[in-house]
Structure 1
Amino acid sequence: MLQVLAAFLVDLAVGDPSWLPHPVVLIGKLIDRLEKLLRRIFHRPAGLRLAGVLLALTVVSAAWAATAFLLWLAGLVHPWLAVVLNVWLISTTMATRSLASAARAVLQPLTAGDLCLARQRVGWIVGRDTAAMDAADVTRATVETVAENIVDGFVSPLFFALLGGAPLAMAYRAVNTLDSMVGYRNERFRDLGWFSARLDDAANFLSARWTALCLLAAAWLSGRRTGEAWRAVRRDAPAHPSPNSGWPEAAMAGALGVRLGGLNYYGGRAQMRAYMGEPHLHLQPDHVRQAVDMMYLAAALAVLSGMLAARLAGAVF
C-alpha cells in the first residue's frame, strides 16, 4: 500500500518526463508488430476474431511477465532497488498529472479567446472532429475527457496495483493500450479488435463505479452539487453508449451543474450522445479548471479508500 501511495505522489510530482523511457511506448510497438504479423496469417473475419484473442492475451501476458521479471532481477541486486522500481513502474501506469496538463493546455487559449488554438489542442485528446467547435463545445469535450479518463488514467491502474503491484498494473495498461489502438468498431478493427474492446470494458467495470463514488465524495467535500451528481449518475449513466464512461461523466456533470453529452461529429458523421446531467449552468472555460480540481480530489479519495479497503481485506483474510 505504501508503494502504491508513493507511486501516486511520484505521478503528481513528475508525471511522465519525456527523457525517461515509457513502458506504454514499448507496449504500443509490440501491439503494432503483432497486428501486422497476425494480419499476414489471418484474413477471414472468423480468423481475425481468433487473432484478436491471441493478440490481446499475448500482449497482456508479455506486459505482466516482463514487469515481474524486471522486479525479480532488481530484487537479486537489492530489495530496495525492487521497491524503487515497483514504485516507478506503477507511477508510469498513472496519468493524473498528464491529464491535468492536457486539459490546462486547452484551457489556456480558450480563456485567452484563441478558439483556433483551443480547437487544435482539444483535438489532441479527443477522437471527434474539432474544426467547427465553438467555445462551449471545446469546454464540453475537455470536461468529458477529464471525467472519463479518471478511470483508465488513474483509478483502474490504482485498483490493479493494489491487487498485484506493478505487474498487474502494467497488464491493465496493456489492456487499455490495446483498446486505444485496435478496439474500434470500424471496418479495419471490427474483427481484430473486438476482444480488446470487451477486455477493456471488463477491466474498467468496477473502477468506473468506484470513480463515480469518489467524484460524489469530492463534490460533497468541495461544496458542489452532491445531490444533483447522485441523481445524474442514477438517471443518466446507463444511457451512455459505453458501459463505463457514463458513470464518471454523469457524476462530473451533476457536480458542476452542467450538461455533458450531445451532438458530436466523427469523420464528418454526426453522432448523438446521451445527455449527462442538467444544464443549470452554461458551460464556461472555468469548468475545465473545476473538472481538473475534481479529478485531483477524486484521485486522492481513491487512494485513501483503496488503501483502507486493502487494509480491511488483509485483516479479514
Structure 2
Amino acid sequence: MSLFSIVLAVCLDWLIGDPYSWPHPVKWMGNFISWCLRMFQKKPIQPYVFGGMLWLSTVGLSVAVAYLLLLGASLLHPIFYWVIYTYLAYASLATRSLAVEAIKVYHAVKTGTLEDARYQVSMIVGRDTSHLSREEITKATIETVAENTSDGVIGPLLCLFIGGPVLAIGYKAINTLDSMVGYKTEKYRAIGYLSAKIDDLANLIPARVTWLALMIASHILQLNAKEACRIGYRDRYQHASPNSAFSEAVVAGSLGIQLGGTHIYHGEIIEKPTIGDETREATADDILTTVSLLYMSTTFVLLLAILLSISLTIL
C-alpha cells in the first residue's frame, strides 16, 4: 500500500500541485517559525539557544503531528490511514508548485515589464531583487529550480521511500527552517546556525542523488550532457553550502551558462563563487529547460526507487 500511496502522491503533486487556498504542512511550519521569531523579538534570549529551541520545537512538533495523525487514522480504519498517508506524502512534494512559479517568472521576463519580472522572482528567492536585470532574474530562477529539485522534490521523495510521510515531513521542517533562518547575515547567523548545519547534513545524500539524476536527465533531454558532467564535477563544491552547487553545477553545464556570484540578502552583500562557464547569456527559455530537467530527473529517481522497492520486497 505504501508504494502505491507514494506513486499516487507523486501523480497528485504533478497534477494539482499546492493550491494556495488548501491547507499545507509547510505553511503551518512557516507560520510557527514566524510566531517564534516574533516572540524572540519581544523577549530576546541568547540567539544560539533560541536557534536550538526553534529547531527542536519546529521539527519535533512536525514529526509528532504527522505520526499522531497516522496513528489516529490507523485506529479508525485502514482507509483513513491510507488517505492521511497519501495526503502527507503528496504535501511533502513540490514539483508542480516549483515549476508553476518558475514559469510565472518565465512569462514575466518574456513579455512583462522589468518590475513585473522582479516582483515575480521575489516570490521564490530570498535575495534582494529590486536591482536585478532580466538575465539576472532568469539566472536566479534557474538556481532556485536547480537547488529545489534536490531539497524540494528528490529529497522528500527519497524520505518517503525510506521512512514514509513522518520522515518526509521531518525533512520538510528541516528545509523550511533553513530557508527562513539559515542565512549567513548578521540577523540570522546565530539564530539559524543549527538549522543551517543540520540542513547541510540532511541534504548530503539527496544532493548527490540529484546530481547524478540531473546528469542522466540532461542526456535524455539531449542537452550538453558532456558539459553537464564536466561542470557538474568541477564546480560541485562552488558554494558556501556543501550541497547546493551539486545540482546548480550540472544545470549550468547542461545550459552553457554561469550561475552564482555576489547577491544581496536581507540588505547584506553575500559573496558567492561562480558556477559554470559563461559561454553565452542566459535567456528566458533556459527556465523552461530547467523545469524539464526537474521533471525528468524526478521521473528517473522515482522509477529507480520503485524498482529497488519491488526488488527488496521480492528478496
Q: TM-score band (shorter)?
A: over 0.9
Corresponding residue for 1:160? 159
* Per-residue Cα deviation, 1:152-183 (whole angstroms, up to 9, x for no partner): 11011111111111111111111111112222
Alpha-carbon spacing, 1:87–1:223, altered in 2? closer, same or farther (3 Å): same
Deviation at 1:315, TM superposition (A): 5.5
CA distance in structure 2 between the aligned counterparts of 1:222 and 1:77, rounded to whole angstroms: 46
The residue identity in structure 2 corresponding to 1:144 is E
Corresponding residue for residue 279 of structure 1: 278
| Paired residues of 1:229 and 1:277 also in contact (CA < 8 A) | no
User: Is 1:26 equivalent to 2:25 in the alignment?
Assistant: no
Amino acid at match of 1:30: F
Amino acid at match of 1:189: Y
Distance change (3 Å), C-alpha of 1:79 and 1:237: same
> 1:193 — aligned with what?
192
Q: Is the 8 Å Cα contact of residues 257 and 277 (structure 1) preserved in structure 2?
A: yes
Q: Distance in 1 between matches of 2:243 and 2:257?
A: 20
Residue of 11, 14, 17 corresponding to 1:12: 14
Deviation, structure 1 residue 269 = 4.8
Q: Name the SS of the counterpart of 1:265 in structure 2.
A: strand
Q: Give the corresponding residue for 2:230.
A: 231
SS in structure 2 at match of 1:249: helix
- Change in Cα spacing, 1:263 to 1:187, as seen in structure 2 (3 Å) is closer
How many angstroms does 1:35 deviate by? Answer: 4.4
What amino acid maps onto 2:139 in structure 1? R
- Match of residue 264 from structure 2: 265
Checking the alignment, whether the CA contact within 8 Å between 1:10 and 1:88 is kept in structure 2 is no
- Partner residue in 1 for 2:106: 107
Work out whether residues 207 and 247 of structure 2, in 8 Å CA contact, stay in contact via their aligned partners in 1: yes
1:36 & 1:314 partners in 2: Cα distance? 48
Instruction: Tell me the alpha carbon deviations over residues 97-139 of structure 1, each in whole angstroms, 9 at most, x when there is no partner.
Output: 1111111111112111522211111111112222222221111
Name the aligned partner's letter for residue 209 of structure 1: R
Q: In 2, Cα distance between the equivalents of 1:109 and 1:188?
A: 31
8 Å Cα contact 1:224/1:255 also seen in 2:
yes
Task: State the partner residue of 2:240.
Answer: 241
In 1, the alpha carbon distance for the partners of 2:112 and 2:18 equals 29
Which stretch has the larger CA shift, 260-269 or 50-59?
A: 260-269
Aligned residue identity for 1:68 = Y
Is this contact kept in 1: 2:185–2:265, CA < 8 A? no
Q: CA RMSD in A?
A: 2.0
Q: Distance in 2 between matches of 1:39 and 1:138?
A: 33
Looking at structure 2, the residues matched to 201 and 84 of structure 1 have their Cα atoms a distance apart, in angstroms, of 32
CA displacement 1:16-60 (0-9 Å, x = unmatched)? 12232111122223333444556777633xxx3233223212221
Code of the aligned partner of 2:13: D
Q: TM-score if structure 1 supplies the norm length?
A: 0.92
2:174 aligns to what SS in structure 1? helix
Match of 2:219 in 1: 220
Could you say if the C-alpha distance between residues 310 and 198 of structure 1 is closer, same or farther in structure 2, counting changes exceeding 3 Å? farther
Instruction: Find the aligned partners of 1:100 and 1:24 in 2 and give their Cα distance.
Output: 17
2:5·2:86 contact (CA, 8 Å) conserved in 1? yes
Contact 1:150 1:295 in 2 (8 A): yes
* Structure 1: distance between partners of 2:278 and 2:19: 38
Q: Give the share of equivalent positions with the same residue, in percent.
A: 36
The count of corresponding residues between Structure 1 and Structure 2 is: 313
Give the partner amino acid of 1:118.
Answer: A
SS of 2:128's partner is: coil
Q: Deviations over 1:247-301 (max 9, x none)?
A: 0000111111222123433355544422222233321111011111111111111
1:312 positional shift? 4.3
Match for 1:195: what amino acid? Answer: L
List alignment gaps of at least 5 residues for structure 2.
none
**Is the CA contact 2:261–2:271 (under 8 Å) kept in the aligned structure 1?**
yes
Question: 1:80 maps to what in 2?
Answer: 79
Describe the SS at the equivalent of 2:235: helix
Q: Deviations over 1:185-206 (max 9, x none)?
A: 2333322221111111111111
